[in-house]
Chain A
Amino acid sequence: MFKKLIDNSTAKSPWIYHINAGSCNGCDIELVAVLTPRYDAERFGFKLAGTPRHADIVVVSGPVTSQSKERLIRTLEQVPEPRVIVSLGSCPRSCNVFKGSYSVEGPLDKFCHVDISVAGCAPKPEAIVLGLAQAAQLLKQKREEAAQK
């Protein structure tokens, strides 16, 4: 009885965790702008979680630098399944202008499967809202698949 209630409530409240893997901070401030009252992603239930262990959606920004690679892998391991990984901006997808640098180990899909990518440098907050909405839908799908097993 309670399980259904919990499932319904968790579907409407996906928590995000944000990892900065060597980003220039452009995408990060756009993500923070999304959570402010102007673009208010919190009306869809998104909430910035303080720890990866509480998160459902992981938002990664920045090309994966060699300093942040270890931390990124360790953080992603702590996120419970089912999880959705969203890449924010061009950097995690392809390293953007930093590709070929000695200190960049990306792109992100070397280390994990990227479910949804939001393009733009930096993406417009509306695009991030759309990406997060798609991520929430995908998360719901993944949960249903996990429940059937």
Chain B
Amino acid sequence: MIRFPYVREALTQVFSKPSTEKYPFVKKEAPENYRGRIKFHPDRCINCGMCIRVCSPGAIVRTVEKQEDGDLVTMEFHMDSCTFCQMCADFCTKNSIELTKDYEMVASDPKDLIESGTFLKKKPVPKKPISDELPPAPKVDDPEM
């Protein structure tokens, strides 16, 4: 008896969909915890500089501009220099750096690959000088004392 071992396989392949992903026409969502385009929230940043310290390719540039009421801090994340290791986001205590699921980082102009944010770091308010007068003694209402 003649056996056709691959007939079933061949027939299923003929009638099944191709395994090619129809990418530009059907967008595919990146998997969970994908580290893509960087998003920076300047309103949460406190200018501690931890992200710059842990960045191995040195992709984060900070420029500080002195102003009357504080420092104008600009953080630039150069995504054309980034390794997408997420160390900056992990070390950020204020969660101001976020790596989104956007993976379509294609640019003809290199400026499109820079994520930047500016915020004002206010000077600390000078504390009031401590007065020489002693504070009033607390009243004792407890009768047992």
Bound pair (A, B): yes
Please tell me which stretch of A4-12, A14-22, A110-118 contacts chain B, meaning at least 4 of its Cβ atoms lie within 8 angstroms of it: A110-118
- A-side contacts of B1, CB under 8 Å: none
Number of residues of chain B lying within 8 A (CB) of chain A: 28
Interface residues of A in 30-56 (CB under 8 A from B): 37-40, 43
Interchain CB contact under 8 A, A123 and B20: no
Docked CA distance A38–B21 (Å): 6
Contact of A119 among B20, B28, B30, B80 (CB under 8 A): B80
Interchain CB contact under 8 A, A99 and B57: yes
Interchain CB contact under 8 A, B83 and A118: no
Query: B93 at interface (Cβ–Cβ under 8 A)?
Result: no
Query: A72 at interface (Cβ–Cβ under 8 A)?
Result: no
What size tier do the contact residues of chain A reach?
Answer: 20 to 34
**Other 5 A-B pairs with CB < 8 A, given A43-B20, A99-B57, A133-B24:** A93-B113, A117-B110, A119-B80, A127-B103, A129-B23
CB-defined A-B contacts under 8 Å, sample of 30: A37-B19, A39-B20, A39-B21, A43-B20, A90-B57, A90-B79, A90-B81, A90-B83, A93-B110, A93-B113, A94-B78, A94-B80, A96-B57, A99-B57, A99-B81, A116-B107, A117-B80, A117-B106, A117-B108, A117-B113, A119-B82, A120-B36, A120-B103, A120-B105, A121-B83, A123-B103, A126-B21, A126-B104, A129-B23, A130-B24
